[in-house]
Amino acid sequence: MLIIPVIISILSLFFVGYLISWIQKCDMGTPKMQEIYKAIKNGADAFLKRQYKTIGLMTLFLAVVLFVVYALNDKWLIGMQTSLSFLFGALCSSLAGLVGMWISVRSNIRTASAAQTSFSKALTIALRGGAVSGITIVAMSLLGISGLYFIYSAFGYLPNEIPSLLVGFSFGASLVALFAQLGGGIYTKAADVGADLVGKIEKNIPEDDPRNPAVIADLVGDNVGDCAGRGADLFESTAAENVGAMILGVVLFPYFGINGILFPLVIRGFGLLCTIVGIMVAKAKETDDPLKALNKGYFVTCGLAAIAFYFVTMQMLNNILFFYAGLVGLAASIVFVFVTQYYTEHKYRPVQEIVKASATGHATNIIAGFAVGLECTAATVITIAAALLASFKLGVMTDLPSGGLYATAVATMGMLSTAGYVLAMDTFGPITDNAGGIVEMSGASEEVRLITDKLDSAGNTTKALTKGYAMGSAALAAFLLFSAYFEEAKLTVVNFARVEVFVAGLLGAMLVFFFSSLAIRAVGKAAGKIVEEVRRQFKADSGLMAGTSTPDYAKCVDITTKSALQEMIWPGLLAVVLPIVVGVLFKAEAEAGFIMTATIVGVLLATVFNNSGGAWDNAKKFIEMGNFGGKGGDAHKASVTGDTVGDPFKDTAGPSLHVLVKLLGTLSLALVALFI
């Protein structure tokens, strides 16, 4: 059975190879564009090199700590295995991030170049660039887990023993993802906010204007945050979810045998095939709405995934009720997409409320946006609750012991079967954003800009949608990981009436708030340094404003790199150290309480951050279309404030919380031996 996901993954990587060679053959545009491309590439490479050095050192250190702690408890073998799986997971996650950035840097410039001649071609390049990232991530996660499975089998472990041995892998992946997403998220928003504060507000020059010394740092940010960071993040998600579901499969080992354990891998393999078809059918005519093409591909993927789900479920689990549970998950993912759309698109009531509030000033804009963010938690929670209850009920109806729990795992798999496509849409966002920046900076004509603006606006929507999807799947997966932790820790209850558990719960909720505070402040601090540098450059050389001399882009890139790396350390360490301390001091049951509240609060607060940020962004865009006085009016100024506040919310704190929630799940699983 394991051969199926392996073969599909390898085939998918061949397909990725085809996509890459196709993209590489595309035109690289004017010399001016190539010059900008090189600057972006160098900046991104330099950041990633330094970032991964820091992350690598921390990972190594933690691997040694892991081993030593286990060894001190006389668990040499499990310590060795956990440390090695941990390192392997960390390596794969880093690779996923690197691939994400490698391809996005190369697709940006080609999308920009294609936009000079054809909207349709530009869209295809950007989506295929995204697909390289999305498919590679899912395939690598499947290969990594299958590979470890093979190795452990070869060492004589039984199929029902192996899943618990894989948690080190997903913990390693989570750890790298946390720092990659934090560092990248701080980088991208510090550069963005820093560039805007001086450029747009003080100097009154447009976004992506080549006179702004921070503009290259801003473009680099899209690549290191939205591509590399998100790549590691989503690699970790797929790994954690697979391992969690496999552990629950062990519970049903007496009934399904190895099928229950390998089901998650097989179904995701088929999901990859569906994604490939979806990517190939997503094409647009010259006059089409880009979202129409992207949606077409998405719904094709969903439809095929549903069919594949039916056959795989009937073949491996032979119970139609599990198929229904999978459909529940798939349906929930579609609902998440629509909920996010409702809360972040300008057509609907929430963004319109923010727009209207902008007319009465900065403060009312902020109040309205924040209220929208708080409000949208209701729809999110109701969807998660409905999906969990419905799939659990279906599982209970199978009359298998723990059938309900396993059915929630199947629902999670249903939701995640389209992950590859969703990842492709996600990476589509920063690629088109960068392409727009390159076009703007290279001084291309108005029509070309119109094309990239159209793509960029679609990219903003897909980015928001992915966040909704990612958050929803994080919630389901968290329940999965939590249940798996229960199995591993041999817990039967988490009793919140015990004072240690209650206190741990308080601390878990606190971690989420405090971590968010650190992440947001990090952006503020790093942005402050950039503002100083940009102001310095404008002051030192009056030729900058006139456009007669070139700013020192590299200096800004360097400052952003340094401060983003510095600022990512504390929140990252806090997220790793606090749960360990709580677990060691208060033991397994309190740790469960800690993770539980941290997860619930994390999911909700991330939803607030993501959706309020998206809504503020689109409220500004709606005003910029010429409503309520259009660009430069008072309402516009207020909406820019909201957009700027939303930046660290939606691109630093929100995505980092998403990783944090999953990290807590994998960390507790990997270190459960310490908490008993």
Contacts of its own copies in 154-193 (CB under 8 A) = 193
Cβ distance to its own copies smaller for residue 42 or 495 = 495
Please write down the HEC assignment for all residues of 581-643: HHHHHHHHHHHHHHHHHHHHHHHHHHHHHHHHHHHHHHHHHHHHCCHHHCCCCHHHHHHHHHH
550: left (phi over 0), alpha (psi -120 to 50) or beta: beta
In the complex, least distance from residue 124 CB atom to its own copies, rounded to whole angstroms:
36
Q: Whose Cβ is closer to its own copies: residue 113's or residue 398's?
A: 398
Verify binding: residue 494, its own copies, rule CB under 8 A: yes
Going from the C-alpha of 239 to that of each of 410, 618, 657, the distances in angstroms are 15, 33, 17
Q: What is the smallest separation between the CB atom of 111 and its own copies, expressed in angstroms?
A: 30
Choose the binding region for its own copies from 46-54, 114-122, 459-467, 503-511 (rule: CB under 8 A): 503-511
Q: Which residues contact 1 (CB under 8 A, 6 or more apart)?
A: 258, 259, 262, 266, 316
Q: Where are the alpha helices (DSSP H) in 376-492?
A: 377-396, 403-416, 419-441, 446-489
Q: Which of residues 560-619 bind its own copies (CB under 8 A)?
A: 592-593, 596-597, 600-601, 603-604, 608
Residue 285 token pair: 């005519």
Look at residues 656, 662, 624, 658 and name the one whose alpha carbon lies nearest to residue 640.
Answer: 624
- Binding flag, residue 408, its own copies (CB under 8 A): yes
Give the count of residues interacting with its own copies (CB under 8 A): 79
Among positions 186, 252, 384, 438, the unique one binding its own copies when judged by CB under 8 A:
384
Residue 146 · residue 627 · CB < 8 Å:
no
Angle at 619 between CA 613 and CA 622, to 5 degrees: 145
- Answer yes or no whether residue 628 interacts with its own copies by CB under 8 A: no
Q: Is 624 in the site for its own copies (CB under 8 A)?
A: no
Q: Which stretch binds its own copies (CB under 8 A): 53-61, 278-286, 357-365, 439-447?
A: 357-365
Positions 518 through 547 that interact with its own copies (CB under 8 A): 518, 520-521, 523-524, 527-528, 531
377 in the Ramachandran plot: left (φ > 0), alpha (ψ -120 to 50) or beta? alpha
176 versus 376: smaller Cβ distance to its own copies: 376
Does residue number 80 form part of the binding site for its own copies (CB under 8 A)? no
474 sits near its own copies (criterion: CB under 8 A):
no
* Closest CB to its own copies among residues 153, 360: 360
3-state DSSP of 131-198: HHHHHHHHHHHHHHHHHHHHHHHHCCCCCCCHHHHCHHHHHHHHHHHHHHHHHHHHHHHHHHHHHHHH
Nearer to its own copies, 39 or 596 (CB): 596
First to last CA, the chain: 34
- Which residues between 267 and 306 bind its own copies (CB under 8 A)? none
Q: Interface mask (CB under 8 A) for its own copies, residues 631-660, using x and -?
A: ---------xxx-xx--x------------
Cα dihedral 653/655/660/665 (nearest 10): 150
Among 295, 352, 457, 495, binds its own copies (CB under 8 A): 495
Among 281, 385, 577, 584, binds its own copies (CB under 8 A): 385
Owner of token pair 């595309």: 26
Stretch of residues binding its own copies (CB under 8 A), selected from 90-98, 364-372, 465-473, 536-544: 364-372
CB of 244 to its own copies, least distance (A): 14
| Token pair recorded at residue 145 | 């887990």
Give the HSE-up count for residue 65: Cα atoms under 13 Å, Cβ half-sphere. 12
Among 197, 227, 557, 661, binds its own copies (CB under 8 A): 197
Selected from 91, 277, 371, 554, the binder of its own copies by CB under 8 A is 371
CA nearest 247: which of 173, 175, 306, 169? 169
Between 284 and 507, whose beta carbon lies closer to its own copies? 507
367 touching its own copies, by CB under 8 A? yes
Q: How far is the CB of 651 from its own copies (least distance, A)?
A: 13
